[in-house]
Structure 1
Amino acid sequence: MMAQRPIIAFAVCSLLAGGASFASAQSGMDHSMHRMGPEIVIPKGALYTKADVEFMQGMIAHHAQAIVMSKLAEANGANPQVLKLSRKIDQSQVPEIHIMQDWLRRYGQFAPDTASWHDMRMDGMLTDAEIKELSTSKGVVFDRAFLVGMIKHHAGAIKMVDDLFKAPGAGQEVDANVFANDVVTAQTAEIGIMRRLLTQLPPK
């Protein structure tokens, strides 16, 4: 299966065209990645690349932080629609972490656990200060912070997929390709939902 670059490029362009609200959500995005685990060694003749391994390792940390964010909604008085979305994110990304860990172990690569979000900073992930602010917010203030933060978070995941397919030879192993494209499809749709929910919140 070949990489679906046009779909991802369209998704990225669509997100970047989202206007001022999206631009503000992008501010402070940390594009660095703190490496974890042993050096990545790719066996000769492997169907995957170093970029594939880095993508899976980084996306585990990325998903793990999204789950932490989502679990805050229950305790912080999120409105029913935001709570429903947060539960969907939680329920979908937990099994996806298992898929990525299994993929890495299948190829003899280091598989980070869900605590890795503390030490890895991928595109769109919230800073420690942003997580603290979200955890102490309540009601409508939480709803707004969650939606803005998760829009940024999802946009970062989509960029990670775009970067994967730009790397030479990457994204061609079948399972990695399918998973990466599924991330784009699901998270692009959820960004649309979150933008709509933002417009329904009371004004500041």
Structure 2
Amino acid sequence: MTRQPRIRPGLITVALTLVLVAGCTGSADDDSVTVQPGAPGEPGRVLTDPPTQPHDDAYTDVDVHFLHVMIYHHEQALRMVELVDDRADRAEINLLAARIGRSQEDELALMADWLAVRGEPHEGDHPDVGGMPGMLSEADFAELAEATGATFDQRFLELMIHHHEGALIMVADLREVGGAQEPALAEFTTHLDVDQRIEIDRMRSLLSDLD
């Protein structure tokens, strides 16, 4: 595994991915062949050799750390979602929370699998998250747990927007220090960035409706 020689102080480093890209396979006369999908509207082509998969040495310590910390970040979002059912006033908040919960759980599974496949298992111990952007304090959780109705709806949206914005900062910081170069991780972080922005826009719209 390639080692990252030095990480610039002050940047959040973290790591994640799992998007194994494989060609479709078929058989002809009992001989296995690999078919590479073509562009939209174009046929695929048969390859003589299997498509190249990302090499284990394509990722760095920065990527691994990113994934460990992003797992903790996602787990905190699920803690927030768990508070919604008994406290939210508007059905839209429940629907939003359910969507966030599903996407975060799916991404947690992807991150854990990425680490396991590469021999970098996530042991469940929380890493040093000091200064991680978007994280809620226990006081924030206590405040949210005590709120109900419209007050809860507003505070949930404000805190989840803050939390999502933190994830965007973490992805940007990872890329700034040269992380997420492995194809699978690059694809995952791109998906994460796009998905979080969509949810932020939706939450801002809901928040404006509360005024």
Q: TM-score range with shorter-chain normalisation?
A: 0.7 to 0.9
> Which residue number in structure 1 is paired with residue 107 of structure 2?
96
**Which residue, 53, 59, 62 being the options, matches 2:73?**
62
- Is 1:201 the equivalent of 2:210? yes
Which has the larger Rg?
2
> Which residue number in structure 1 is paired with residue 156 of structure 2?
146
Asked if structure 2 preserves the Cα contact closer than 8 Å seen for 1:73 and 1:83, the reply is: yes
Gaps of 5+ in 2: 1-10, 14-55
Structure 2 length as normaliser, TM-score? 0.70
**How far, CA to CA, are the matches of 1:161 and 1:82 in structure 2?**
26
In percent, how many aligned pairs have the same letter?
Answer: 36
Q: Structure 1, residues 116-141: CA drift from partner, whole Å, max 9, x if none?
A: 49x74521011110011111110111
Q: Secondary structure at the match of 1:103?
A: helix
Asked if structure 2 preserves the Cα contact closer than 8 Å seen for 1:67 and 1:93, the reply is: yes
Asked if structure 2 preserves the Cα contact closer than 8 Å seen for 1:123 and 1:157, the reply is: yes
**Which residue, 74, 91, 102 being the options, matches 1:80?**
91
Post-superposition offset of 1:110? 3.5
**How far, CA to CA, are the matches of 1:55 and 1:112 in structure 2?**
14
- Report the structure, 1 or 2, having the larger helix content: 1
**Which residue, 164, 169, 190 being the options, matches 1:181?**
190
**How far, CA to CA, are the matches of 1:32 and 1:181 in structure 2?**
17
Quick one: higher RCO (CA 8 Å, sep 6+), 1 or 2?
Answer: 1
- Report the structure, 1 or 2, having the larger strand content: 2
Q: Structure 1, residues 56-95: CA drift from partner, whole Å, max 9, x if none?
A: 1111001111011012111113411111100000011112
Gaps of 5+ in 1: 1-30, 34-44
**How far, CA to CA, are the matches of 1:183 and 1:78 in structure 2?**
28
Q: Structure 1, residues 124-182: CA drift from partner, whole Å, max 9, x if none?
A: 011110011111110111111100000000000000100011113x1111111111111
**How far, CA to CA, are the matches of 1:78 and 1:107 in structure 2?**
44
Give the alignment's Cα RMSD to 1 decimal.
2.2
**Structure 1 residue ranges (4+ consecutive) displaced by more than 2 angstroms after TM superposition:** 119-122
